[in-house]
Amino acid sequence: MSPSLNRQSTTEAASKPKGARKKPAVQLLIIAASTGGPLALQKLLPKLKAGVGFPILVVQHMPKDFTRDFAERLNRLSRIEVREAENGDRLKPGVALLAPGGKQMELDDSQTIRIRGTLHQEIYKPSADITFASVANRFRGRVLAVVMTGMGVDGRFGVKLLKSKGAQVWVQDARSSVIYGMPKAIVEAGLADEILDLDDMSERFREM
């Protein structure tokens, strides 16, 4: 088994994108992405098998009125069901809910989705930090968080909360990221369990 990333320098971690090939016991998969994310998600989500035994939440930085069409495209490409999240949706195995553009997606209780408007101080709409933090506070099962290509540090705060509750965290590596901002923030904070290029991550999704 490869050494823990906590015992590696950032440089060493970045040079070793392949982590231990241990399959996570997943009860909820949550994914965050920004720039470059639409293409990456179109490669990843179709790898999940029909009838996969856990629900999926996806936060992709995208403007209002674009996410519904994007969810429909992902649904056509995938073997799982993918759709834009609506207020009151319930977590369901084999269903991926995409956060609506211009709004925030939170877990209102252990199984119910709340869609709300954004507050003035909230930069990202939707925000990975907000979704991740709500999962950390309300979901009691085993969580796998995946942070992919994108600018900025959205997701770092939420991942820190998730890690404190025992979540596993994968990040996309620098080479395969369009912009290595969001994943880099996780790595530099010492929060990444595995650093994977997009091809390896796709294969891991297929194995799940």
Q: Which of 61, 173, 200, 202 is catalytic?
A: 61
Residue 129 appears among annotated catalytic residues: no
154 is catalytic: yes
Could you say which of 78, 89, 129, 154 is catalytic? 154
Determine whether 193 is an active site residue: no
Q: How far apart are CA 155 and CA 31, in angstroms?
A: 10
Which value, in Å, is the radius of gyration of the alpha carbons in the chain? 15
Q: How far is residue 54's CA from residue 12's CA, in Å, rounded to a whole number?
A: 33
Residues tagged active-site: 34, 61, 154
